[in-house]
Amino acid sequence: MSLTIPLKTIELTPGSHISIPDVTWQDFEQILIDLGEKRNTRVAYYQGLLEIMSPLAIHERPHRIIGDIVKAILETEERDWEDFGSTTLKRPLVAGIEPDTCFYINNASFVKGCTNLNLDDYPPPDLAIESDVTSKTSLNAYQAIRVAEVWIYQRSKLKMYRFSEQGYQETPISPNFPRLPLTTMIPELIQKAIYQGTRLMLRDLKKELEAIKMRE
Q: Which runs of consecutive H residues, i.e. helices, occur in the chain?
A: 25-35, 60-76, 136-145, 182-196, 198-215
* Cα–Cα distance for residue pair 88/72, rounded to 1 Å: 25
In terms of C-beta density within 10 A (0-12 exposed, 13-18 middle, 19 or more buried), how is residue 181 classed? exposed
pTM score of the predicted model: 0.90
**10 has pLDDT over 90:** no
* Cα–Cα distance for residue pair 170/161, rounded to 1 Å: 4
Mean pLDDT of all residues in the chain?
Answer: 91
- Give pLDDT tens digits for 115-163: 889 999 999 999 999 987 667 889 999 999 999 999 999 989 999 999 9
- Give pLDDT tens digits for 36-47: 877 778 899 999
- Phi, psi at residue 69, to the nearest 5°? -65, -45
Q: Which segment of 4-13, 48-57, 110-119, 179-188 scores lowest on mean pLDDT?
A: 4-13
Q: Using alpha carbons, select from 151, 144, 166 the residue that is nearest to residue 97.
A: 144
| CB-CB contact of 155 with 131 (8 Å) | no
pLDDT at 130 (0 to 100): 93
pLDDT at 175 (0 to 100): 96
Find all residues with CB under 8 Å of 92, minimum gap 6, and list them. 25
In our burial notation (b when 16+ CB lie closer than 10 A, e otherwise), range 88-107 reads bbbbeeebbbbbbbbbbbbb
pLDDT at 1 (0 to 100): 42
- Give pLDDT tens digits for 85-128: 999 999 999 999 999 999 999 999 999 999 889 999 999 999 99
57-215 CATH fold? tt1808, chain A (3.90.1570)
pLDDT at 41 (0 to 100): 83
Angle between helices 198-215 and 182-196 (to 10 degrees): 140
**51 has pLDDT over 70:** yes
Average pLDDT over residues 47-54: 92
pLDDT at 216 (0 to 100): 75
